[in-house]
Amino acid sequence: MTETTKVETMIWQGGIEGCLDLIDQTMLPTEILRIECEDVETVWEAIKMLRVRGAPAIGIAAAYGVVLGLQSAQEDEDAFFARLNEIVEYLATSRPTAVNLFWALERMRRLAETKRANFEGAEHLREALLAEAKSIHEEDRRMCHAIGGHGADLLSEVEGVLTHCNAGGLATAEYGTALSVFFTAQDRGHSLHVYVDETRPLLQGARLTAWELMQRGIRATLICDSMAAQVMREGRVQAVVTGADRIAANGDSANKIGTYSLAVLARVHGIPFYIAAPSSTFDLAIESGDQIPIEERCSKEITHGFGRQTAPDGVEVYNPAFDVTPADYIQAIITEKGVINPVNRETIERVLGVV
* Spans of all domains in the chain: 10-142, 149-352
| CATH assignment, 10-142 | 1.20.120.420
Which of 157, 160, 171 is CA-nearest to residue 194?
A: 160
21, 197, 245, 252: the active-site residue: 245
Asked: is 149-352 a CATH 3.40.50.10470 domain? The reply is yes
- At residue 150, the pLDDT reads 98
Residue 140 among the catalytic residues: no
For helices 77-91 and 40-48, the axis angle rounded to 10 degrees is: 20
- At residue 2, the pLDDT reads 40
Q: Report the C-alpha gap between 165 and 277 in whole angstroms.
A: 14
- At residue 6, the pLDDT reads 60
pLDDT in tens, the chain (355 residues): 343 356 689 999 999 999 999 999 999 999 999 999 999 999 999 999 999 999 999 999 999 999 999 998 888 999 999 999 999 999 999 999 889 999 999 999 999 999 888 888 889 999 999 999 999 999 999 999 999 999 999 999 999 999 999 999 999 999 999 999 999 999 999 999 999 999 999 999 999 999 999 999 999 999 999 999 999 999 999 999 999 999 999 999 999 999 999 999 999 999 999 999 999 999 999 999 999 999 999 999 999 999 999 999 999 999 999 999 999 999 999 999 999 999 999 999 999 999 6
Amino acid at 81: F
- At residue 121, the pLDDT reads 84
Q: Report the C-alpha gap between 246 and 355 in whole angstroms.
A: 20
Q: What is the signed CA dihedral for 254, 260, 266, 268, rounded to 10 degrees?
A: 140
